[in-house]
Structure 1
């Protein structure tokens, strides 16, 4: 196993439970991958995912789950606030109160369509391998499923078809960013994401979501999985056209019957295979993220656990991000857990995220290591928050930045892409280009986010089968 992210650890535990002897090689000094944790002066931050959905996929872990209401607080550019709820009737009531009864009726219509998309996706895509786009097209779709998913329709197009209020369209558009995609180009099938989030609820893990990685590591060890930290893999060994082991950076060669890779698919195809595969030129299309870790004095009752502040021109943000420019007026996503375990008394720990171009020197990227850029953009994000009614600058005890360059270096994610280099719906398959090689994690099918990488691990374990 290459990599001890959530996908890798989940796959390791599943394979060990099937009777396999499993060794995981992790380059970093800790497990979890992007599910990171940072401590400073009594403040604790999740530096990766901040929301758990589809909790039914994690019932075998000992987690202290806290339901969130609202799941997300949306603050629109005109000052209107809308709290989402995992109770559909309650959310409709909140929409009616904030945006009017006709907006609630529109969302109800969209919700019924999203439910059909979710059912079709869950049944036919999310739990099974999809090795090629042709394989996806060749699935035994029910006619009703095809009508619901509407191949060729974008998420933006779906919103325009159902939602008259531009604020609800903006709310729907944001879910494309959950896959690192642009809503103007992302498929309408991504409407399954808000349905899953709101139908099954959004959850916080008390003490921080990093507890998921700790619980997975404990489960792996109880099953006899051997985890080697500080052990980067330099190459995948291919003998007779089949993956037969790995070579560590130390030069040690390790033979095995199957190799499961939890590194980004682009890195695997380009750097670890003896002959770069056809996906070595995989475009890094996924957006990245610019993060502030803020120590804040006092309480901020106007914040929910998750609060998103939208700009006036959402399209301008996507034009900038995918055009290689930090957005001047970005959407700002603030996570502030009401949990005494993550902040000193009388203080709060804020994780602030904005969509950002990936790190690099290509025309669609930004050199985030350019001197002064991170600090200047930190100040810009704080100014944007202040302009939207949340001026925290005088209450800061510290403000640290995490740029896409930092994420690329810490997690080996090319360009610092949050959800893997291939943003959107179709991703590299779970079966590698040579027999005996398999892929798990957010850069492969069925996608990024904690539930999806867990499903990728289940797909791979099922494919490998019992020892």
Structure 2
């Protein structure tokens, strides 16, 4: 039995702690915030009409089997803790008109044949045939990734070479091709290309630079379904905390880890703010951003290359809305020029073009049809647009600049109104969350939603010194609830095998 310290009580840290405690290890978990959950945040607002509740992080759960396995492996059943509701549509896509045509709406669903038929009904038979051809390709990518990558350690790019003998996998994944290139080679309708491009943002990446292998992301969502957790996805953090406590994990919130002790070339423990003596440990699992680990907790300049380079943050509005909107649970309102949005958000340091708020952004709106999260006769809206990270460089924005956040909030509401969803005269309140706010609340550098690494290949789960492991969205296999939970499974297995 090892003494293990987990740094950070996000989903990755909680899931790792539960798995390790279930196998007999002595686990202590330190969290800098007063509550657990990390980016799986929650917020409530009391009004005379009643209380509004918001998920301020993920709003969609995919790959439910990953969570079923987590609870079973730690001695429980998923449905004893979580009430999952399947969504149809998973996402309602609102596309602008092209060539003088009318705007169109496409609802995604978890039955591949039914979704293809919906595409045919909205965009025509050629688009349906294109999507079916793309879907076969995405399935090949998904199965190769699931078999060899997503549940296995990838400590370096060389580890991916084990796929080289499977020529069919290489033909499907096509290393070097972008997700944008994959879309253009399979999909003629610009709206389907736009739909595919959006999935690059799930990993914090620009679709023009993201690898084609990210086609596995829409495949996972559309093949296995999207789910809502009744009462809000923040309840997942409560369930994982309950498992940890039942298994004997010591959880200390409001406790900041300031360093990892690794004198002599291996981990010995961690240092806490305000403590006079370090906490001893045989193993340390860091559920904080890899940039924070290698810049602050265990300085390793050689590990910083590529981190905080090109990864998305988000600008958020929390709205209390009177009346019913008729929107789906998840809605995406696309702009006419998607590339202009990415040009704005990422900037171009090479040409000296700074990042800036996108003037006509894609707008994501989540409206849960759940009486538990809003007063009768009202709706709780979570509104998200892609945004540059908090900072003062050419590829970031200082969101703390006076007046900027309020002005951009006005702009987003105007954009929604222009796209046919005007709630400006039905607002009880609005609250703003910028990338600077997320950085402060979760300790995520720059407020990067999916970790500072971005893209497909993330920092390894095994650290550079024996006894150190990394878990969470900034590490392999990536961001999003199922990937973070799989990273916990990988780390727990490696510790168990040591």
Question: Under a length normalisation based on structure 2, what TM-score does the superposition of the two structures give?
Answer: 0.92
Quote how far apart the aligned CAs of 1:239 are.
2.2
Specify which of 47, 50, 69 is matched with residue 88 of structure 2: 69
Would you say the 8 A contact 1:19–1:466 is kept in 2? no
Provide the secondary structure at the position in 2 that maps to 1:300: coil
Q: How does 1:44-193 map to 2 (within 5 A)?
A: 44-59=53-68, 60=71, 61=78, 62-78=81-97, 79-139=103-163, 141-193=165-217
1:335 aligns with 2:366: yes
User: Which among 379, 392, 401 is matched to residue 348 of structure 1?
Assistant: 379
Alpha-carbon distance in 2 for matches of 1:87, 1:122 = 20
Matches of 1:434 and 1:463 in 2, distance apart? 14
Q: Partners of 1:243 and 1:146 in 2: how far apart?
A: 38
Contact 2:164–2:170 (CA<8 Å) still a contact in 1?
Answer: no
1:3 and 2:3 aligned: no
Q: Is the Cα–Cα contact under 8 Å of residues 321 and 357 in structure 1 kept in the other structure?
A: yes
| C-alpha contact 1:299 1:346 (8 A) present in aligned 2 | yes
| Separation in structure 2 between the aligned mates of residue 180 and residue 165 of structure 1, nearest angstrom | 24
Q: Measure how far apart 1:77 and its partner are.
A: 1.2
Residues in 2 aligned to 1:14 and 1:47: alpha-carbon distance in whole angstroms: 26
2:280 matched residue in structure 1: 255
Indicate if the aligned counterparts of 1:266 and 1:281 stay in contact, CA closer than 8 A: no
Helix, strand or coil at the partner of 2:390: coil
What runs of 5+ residues in structure 1 fail to find an aligned partner?
none
Residue 142 (structure 1) shift: 1.5
CA contact (8 A) 1:124 1:141 kept: no
**1:440 corresponds to 2:471:** yes
8 Å CA contact 2:163, 2:170 repeated in 1: no
Task: Determine if contact 2:41/2:56 at 8 Å carries over to the other structure.
Answer: yes
Q: For residues 497 and 388 of structure 2, what CA distance do their matches in structure 1 show?
A: 42
Distance in 2 (alpha carbons) for counterparts of 1:150 and 1:423: 19
What's the CA shift for 1:93? 1.4
Q: CA deviation digits over 1:234-259, x for unaligned, max 9?
A: 00001210011000011341001100
1:206-253 CA-to-partner distances (Å, cap 9, x unmatched) read: 000001000000000110001000000000001210011000011341
Between the aligned partners of 2:344 and 2:161, the Cα distance in structure 1 is 33
Which residue number corresponds to residue 319 of structure 1? 343
Note if 1:288 corresponds to 2:297: no
Question: For residues 281 and 329 of structure 1, what CA distance do their matches in structure 2 show?
Answer: 32
Offset, 1:140: 5.6
Which residue of 2 is the match for residue 29 of structure 1? 34
- The DSSP-based 3-state class of the residue aligned with 2:251 is strand
In the TM superposition, structure 1's runs of 4+ consecutive aligned residues that sit over 4 Å from their partners are none
User: How far apart are residue 462 of structure 1 and its match?
Assistant: 0.5
Preserved CA contact (<8 Å) 1:430 1:438 = yes
Which residue of the partner structure matches residue 267 of structure 1?
Answer: 292
Q: Per-residue displacement from partner, 1:101-153 (whole Å, max 9, x unpaired)?
A: 11011000000100000000000100000001122234465111111111111
**In the alignment, structure 1 residue 201 sits paired with structure 2 residue 201:** no
CA distance in 2, matches of 1:140, 1:150: 11
Contact 1:20 1:466 in 2 (8 A): no
Tell me the C-alpha RMSD between the 2 structures.
Answer: 1.0
Q: Check conservation: 2:269, 2:279, Cα contact below 8 A.
A: yes
Post-superposition CA distance 1:267-286 (Å, at most 9, x none): 0000011x424123443121
TM-score normalised to the size of structure 1? 0.98
Q: Provide the secondary structure at the position in 1 that maps to 2:85.
A: strand
Structure 1, 247-256 or 456-465: larger mean CA deviation = 247-256
Partners of 2:266 and 2:35 lie apart in 1 by 30
Alignment: residue pair count: 465
Structure 2 CA distance for aligned equivalents of residues 243 and 368 of structure 1: 37
Equivalent position of 2:247 in the other structure? 223
Aligned to 1:391: 422
